Amino acid sequence: MIDLKFLRDQPDTVRASQRARGEDPSLVDAVLAADERRRTAIGAFESARAEQKAASKELGPVMGRLNKLRKSDADSADLPALETEANSLREKGAAMSARVKELEAAADAAKGELDTSLRAIGNVIQEGVPAGGEDDFALLTEVGTARDFAAEGFEPRDHLALGELLGAIDMERGAKVSGSRFYYLKGIGARLEWALMGLAQQIATEEGFTPLVVPNLVRAETMAGAGFLDEHDDEVYQLPADDLYLTGTSEVALAGFHADEILDLSDGPLRYAATSTCYRREAGSYGKDTRGIFRVHQFQKTEMFVFCRPEDAVAEHENLLRIERRVLDALELPYRVIDVAAGDLGGPASRKYDCEAWVPTQAKYRELTSTSNCTTFQARRLDIRERDPQGSGTRTLATLNGTAITSTRPIVALLENHQQADGSVRVPEALRPFLGTDVMSPR
């Protein structure tokens, strides 16, 4: 979630961010009102608790004198008065105790209301992020040139036709076993997935990322902390009997790796990479990309993740983009880089860059990788902090993520861009050591 202090100090900035995202700016006022109710409730609770403590101290001496008189054998004219006073103070204390509990419950409820309101607001976008939705991105660069298949004298096949020629993709059996948007990769197709993951893992390791093997099932607090149970909860597979969620990206498990910890970043950012199986319901995508393996429910992905100081986040973001481009350059694909518009960012990201590869049979660019700067949004939810380099306390750090490679979408782009007239597919040079061949030929 965003920093409440920042929202108090700069509400207009948060409102502008909401408008750029196409979201409700009045949520800022709802948070401010909830914050005021919380502070009022806490003030009333603390005042009542102080009165309760004072009354308790007042009762102590009275009970001391009363007990002393009761233990003595002599009658005392003060005894009835002291008993009356003690009973009065007890009744007052009991009433105060009930009031304190009532005010504490009200303060807890106000805090819960504030948290709910605050979680409804996405991360504050960075300066320069284009406003608008999916089609309002800013083009940053284009790399490579799309092939002119007409000049080469043949009509390009789409990835599924090529995959079937190569004996690499079996959609029919995938649907038989699991339903729509499931598939089998077999033979050279399975080896191609392994090769892609191997290349991405090698590059991530060369770039200084510590490899991790991560859980694919996580608790609700981890999923929510990473920001995947807000507006995207309909895309997530849940196992209610176990109160666990299947992750749609290893970003979730990577974000939770240091939850509730104080990190030492004196030697620089902590960088991790993980390859995992990912699961997405693809809610709302009915009728989109139904042919082939571009949009599926299960796939492999190598993800990079960074924990760093907030002031280093922009530089780390550029570094993640550089690494993603290194992977795409190695695959010899024509692609472009876009600065994603605010309305298409997702809640945790303050800025996101997408790398989109050219898909010849669709005659358009399609997303292959993305990298997001989440600033302190995820870490604040997950309570991940660092020792403040400017003081003796702690502060929330920043997190970033970037996709090194996924399994299915690069296969789509590779098959279509590197196909030959006879249905064979040329293997990019960087991938050959992992695949063991320079050409994938029809069976």
Quick check: is 428 in a domain? yes
Q: Is the pLDDT score of 355 beyond 90? A: yes
Quick check: is 131 in a domain? no
37 belongs to the catalytic site: no
Report the Cα 284 to chain-centroid distance in Å: 20
- Three-point CA angle 329, 303, 404, nearest 5°: 0
Q: What is the pTM of this model?
A: 0.88
- Report pLDDT for 53: 76
Exactly one of 15, 21, 280, 325 is catalytic; which is it?
A: 280
Q: CATH number for the domain including 57? A: 1.10.287.40
- And the tokens for 429? 């040079």
Q: For the chain, what's the residue count?
A: 443
- And the tokens for 277? 């199986």
Q: Is the pLDDT score of 95 beyond 80? A: no
% residues pLDDT > 70 (the chain): 91
Q: Which residues contact 265 (CB under 8 A, 6 or more apart)?
A: 307, 308, 309, 386, 387, 397
**Boundary-marking domain end, from 119, 152, 171:** 119
- Report pLDDT for 89: 64
- Co-location of 257 and 399 in the same domain: yes
Quick check: is 129 in a domain? no
295 belongs to the catalytic site: yes
- Report pLDDT for 340: 97
- And the tokens for 330? 């190695």
Quick check: is 376 in a domain? yes
Most confident of 34-38, 94-98, 437-441: 437-441
Q: How many CB atoms lie within 10 A of CB 326?
A: 14
- Co-location of 57 and 164 in the same domain: no
Q: Is the pLDDT score of 417 beyond 90? A: yes
- Co-location of 78 and 196 in the same domain: no
- Co-location of 109 and 143 in the same domain: no
Residue predicted with more confidence, 354 or 104: 354
- Report pLDDT for 415: 98
Instruction: Give the mean pLDDT of 386-405.
Output: 91
- Co-location of 144 and 108 in the same domain: no
Reported as a pLDDT band with limits 50, 70 and 90, residue 283 is confident
> Quick check: 157 and 258 in contact, CB under 8 A?
no
- Co-location of 115 and 150 in the same domain: no
- The residues that bridge with 355 in the sheet, in sequence order, are 337, 369
Instruction: Give the mean pLDDT of 431-436.
Output: 96
- And the tokens for 379? 């870490």
**Boundary-marking domain end, from 56, 87, 119:** 119
- Co-location of 170 and 76 in the same domain: no
Q: CATH number for the domain including 148? A: 3.30.930.10
- Co-location of 280 and 417 in the same domain: yes
> Quick check: 408 and 312 in contact, CB under 8 A?
no
- Co-location of 115 and 188 in the same domain: no
- Report pLDDT for 59: 56
Quick check: is 55 in a domain? yes
Calpha distance 290→258 (Å, rounded): 38
Reported as a pLDDT band with limits 50, 70 and 90, residue 432 is very high
Exactly one of 250, 370, 372, 407 is catalytic; which is it?
A: 370
Calpha distance 432→271 (Å, rounded): 27
Reported as a pLDDT band with limits 50, 70 and 90, residue 284 is confident
252-265 burial, b if ≥16 CB within 10 A, otherwise e?
A: bbbbbbbbeeebeb
Amino acid letter, residue 56: S
> Quick check: 400 and 317 in contact, CB under 8 A?
yes
- Three-point CA angle 428, 431, 434, nearest 5°: 150
> Quick check: 172 and 61 in contact, CB under 8 A?
no
**Boundary-marking domain end, from 74, 90, 119:** 119
Q: What is the dihedral of CA 271, 276, 282, 283, to 10 degrees?
A: -80
Reported as a pLDDT band with limits 50, 70 and 90, residue 41 is confident
416 belongs to the catalytic site: no
- Co-location of 176 and 285 in the same domain: yes
Exactly one of 367, 387, 424, 426 is catalytic; which is it?
A: 367
Reported as a pLDDT band with limits 50, 70 and 90, residue 93 is low
Q: Which residue shows structure tokens 């809640």? A: 347
Reported as a pLDDT band with limits 50, 70 and 90, residue 73 is low
Find the domain containing 161 and state its range.
Answer: 138-440
Exactly one of 295, 325, 351, 385 is catalytic; which is it?
A: 295
Calpha distance 286→293 (Å, rounded): 15
- Co-location of 235 and 368 in the same domain: yes
Report the domain count for the chain.
2
- Co-location of 321 and 381 in the same domain: yes
Calpha distance 410→441 (Å, rounded): 18
Quick check: is 125 in a domain? no
- The residues that bridge with 371 in the sheet, in sequence order, are 353, 402
Quick check: is 159 in a domain? yes
Quick check: is 124 in a domain? no
What is the 3-state secondary structure of the chain?
CCCHHHHHHCHHHHHHHHHHHCCCCHHHHHHHHHHHHHHHHHHHHHHHHHHHHHHHHHHHHHHHHHHHHHHCCCCCCCHHHHHHHHHHHHHHHHHHHHHHHHHHHHHHHHHHHHHHHHHCCCCCCCCCCCCCCCCCCEEEEEECCCCCHHHHCCCCCCHHHHHHHCCCEEHHHHHHHHCCCCCEECCHHHHHHHHHHHHHHHHHHHCCCEEECCCCEEEHHHHHHCCCCCCCHHHCEEECCCCEEECCCCHHHHHHCCCCCEECCCCCCEEEEEEEEEECCCCCCCCCCCCCCCCCCEEEEEEEEEEECHHHHHHHHHHHHHHHHHHHHHCCCCEEEEECCHHHCCCCCCEEEEEEEEECCCCEEEEEEEEEECCCHHHHHHCCEEECCCCCCEEECEEEEEEEEECHHHHHHHHHHCECCCCCEECCHHHHHHHCCCEECCC
Question: What does the pLDDT look like over 363-378, one tens digit per residue?
Answer: 999 999 999 999 999 9
Reported as a pLDDT band with limits 50, 70 and 90, residue 112 is confident
Instruction: Give the mean pLDDT of 106-121.
Output: 87
> Quick check: 41 and 108 in contact, CB under 8 A?
no
